[in-house]
Structure 1
Amino acid sequence: MELLCVEGPSVRAARDRSLLEDPRVLLQLLALEERYLPRTSYFKCVQKDIKPYMRRILADWMLEVCEDECCEVEVFTLAINYLDRFLATVPSNRNWLQLLGATCMFLASKLRDSSPLTANKLCVYTDNSIKIKELLNMELVVLGRLKWDLAAVTPNDFLEHILFRLPLPSVELPRILKHAQTFVTLAATDFNFAMFPPSMIAAGSLAAAIQGLQLQQQTRPGITSLVENIAKITSCDPDCLRECQEQIEDLLKNSLHPYQPMVPSENLEDPEQAGTPTDVCDVVL
């Protein structure tokens, strides 16, 4: 008799309520988050050849790859974290940028996805402009610069911890989470959010999602007190949180444009022309 092991689609494990209920987990995330922020606004003092709009186009391409491959939502934001931390320390040539982006996705998917992206598949997504050997060599370079510290704290790590502590109808939580994840993804494509604490981005995304879904009427008290509650949970200033929320909402409005693929650096156009290939149209403001 032949024994066959057939695995179906991967199923994500349910959240452990013990972790959500334990306040020490959230406190530890808050204590660690600044450790994984870029040390500087690197376009001002590190990068000479790479410009902000190039990062935006690269981030859009990385997001398209992650969506095409149905990666876990954490993969993209973690890859962007690696990208920003690397660029904050290493002056880079624009010709390396797509190779660097592919490498960051390669590493992030190994850490956060049950079916990691393969080197061969990533090379195909670059139209074979990079080789597998180049990708593997760049992987070692990035690992060295990041000091092998890959378990970075990202905004996605905070979303469920904050939601769990809010007075919201449980039936609405999955919808709020999905929309907040979309806002977090959008923020990752924009360099203006690169140095925001992940907890601030998560809090602003949740506030924008709740207001956009018009759920403030279902909460007691209303949205103002809810924002103050979120600020208290994440130990941030309510005014800073409201400003972050407004910037995220503005980013969504400015991102509803057709997506443009990665093009040679000599022909890169204005960053405002490059939209974000995500399901942002599902988010109602």
Structure 2
Amino acid sequence: CQHLIVDHFDFNREIVSISLSYLDRFLSTRPVNKKIFQLAAMTTLYLAIKLNEQGTLKMSSLIELSRGYFMVEHIAAMEEAILRALSWYVHPPTSLAFVRHLLMLIPSGSCSGIVKHELLELARFLTELAVCDYYFVTRKPSSIALAAVLNAMDGMSSSRLREDVRQRFVESVRFVAGLDCDNAEVEECQVRLRDMYFQGGYYQNHQESPKEHDGVTYDEDFQRSSPVCVGDVHQGQPINHPQSSQYFNSH
């Protein structure tokens, strides 16, 4: 599980989104079996860390994590195959990156720094939930981000985030970012994220009276925790040593 690995080595959790972007785009170019899928998942994580973190994840650590299923030659060859498949487009926009930019559109001085921080943390958590669901693979990162921010705002009471501030934010998003909060994809992402949040048990009732939005009750604060797993990776057996990256291009 990529989140567990990232947390263990104390890397930024956004690395998982970048890694899975590599993986999804790579898999869209060819069919693979379970063993190659596992190797590709490991390699995209290694590549994302190498390109986006100051610290490094040694290839020997990856080999140890694979329990000896793969060797250095496998990872190196797969890395080359992935880079070629991606045409070296290795800095994808992530939902969290959009979240950061969208929150800058909240009018200055309209809410406290604490509220803005809590909005960021909840929206960040919701984007991490999106990583766990294949449904979001075909959705735009900007739509996921906007849905996460809107859900985070819905979780704030009017005493902490005034309704007029929310409306001004919606208008700024439309005119500055060119995004429509009433867009069908955004609304679908909102519903999906909200359902995942409640059904996953992350919601926690507080003593204060919750508010209601579209038939769903929201607490004034959301429980801030993080998903621990993107999804279990199939366990495989050792594969034959490849002679070159062409081995992977043929699978």
TM-score by length of 2: 0.72
Partner Cα separation in structure 2 for residue 244 and residue 146 of structure 1: 26
Offset from partner CA, 1:38-82 (integer Å, 9 cap, x none): xxxxxxxxxxxxxxxxxxxxxxx1122112222112211100100
Q: 1:118 to 1:192 in 2, by over 3 A?
A: same
Aligned to 2:65: 125
Match of 1:238 among 164, 181, 184: 181
User: Which residues of 2 match residues 79-228 of structure 1 at below 5 A?
Assistant: 79-167=19-107, 168-212=111-155, 214-221=156-163, 225=167, 228=170
The question of whether the paired residues in 2 share the 8 Å contact of 1:72 and 1:112 is answered with: no
Q: How many residues align?
A: 205
The question of whether the paired residues in 2 share the 8 Å contact of 1:216 and 1:222 is answered with: no
Partner Cα separation in structure 1 for residue 31 and residue 91 of structure 2: 24
Q: 1:255 to 1:85 in 2, by over 3 A?
A: farther
Q: Does 1:71 align with 2:11?
A: yes
Match of 1:253 among 194, 198, 203: 198
Partner Cα separation in structure 1 for residue 168 and residue 198 of structure 2: 23
The question of whether the paired residues in 2 share the 8 Å contact of 1:99 and 1:135 is answered with: yes
Q: Which has the higher contact order (CA 8 A, sep 6+)?
A: 2
How many angstroms does 1:122 deviate by? 1.8
**Which amino acid is the alignment partner of residue 113 of structure 2?**
S
**Which amino acid is the alignment partner of residue 67 of structure 2?**
D
Aligned to 1:23: none
Partner Cα separation in structure 2 for residue 119 and residue 129 of structure 1: 13
Aligned to 1:28: none
Q: 1:173 to 1:227 in 2, by over 3 A?
A: closer
Q: Secondary structure at the match of 2:67?
A: coil
> Which is helix-richer, 1 or 2?
1
How many angstroms does 1:220 deviate by? 3.0
Q: 1:195 to 1:111 in 2, by over 3 A?
A: same
How many angstroms does 1:104 deviate by? 0.6
Aligned to 1:37: none
**Which amino acid is the alignment partner of residue 195 of structure 1?**
T
Offset from partner CA, 1:110-146 (integer Å, 9 cap, x none): 1211112221112222222222221111100101100
Identity across aligned pairs (percent)?
A: 23
The question of whether the paired residues in 2 share the 8 Å contact of 1:85 and 1:146 is answered with: yes
Aligned to 1:38: none
How many angstroms does 1:178 deviate by? 1.8
How many angstroms does 1:93 deviate by? 1.1
The question of whether the paired residues in 2 share the 8 Å contact of 1:187 and 1:248 is answered with: yes
The question of whether the paired residues in 1 share the 8 Å contact of 2:123 and 2:145 is answered with: yes
How many angstroms does 1:222 deviate by? 5.5
**Which amino acid is the alignment partner of residue 83 of structure 2?**
L
Structure 2 gap segments, 5+ residues each: 202-226, 238-251
What is the root-mean-square deviation of aligned Cα atoms in Å?
2.6
Partner Cα separation in structure 2 for residue 131 and residue 216 of structure 1: 56
Partner Cα separation in structure 1 for residue 196 and residue 165 of structure 2: 20
**Which amino acid is the alignment partner of residue 138 of structure 1?**
M
**Which amino acid is the alignment partner of residue 219 of structure 1?**
L
Q: 1:254 to 1:142 in 2, by over 3 A?
A: farther
**Which amino acid is the alignment partner of residue 88 of structure 1?**
S
Aligned to 1:264: 235
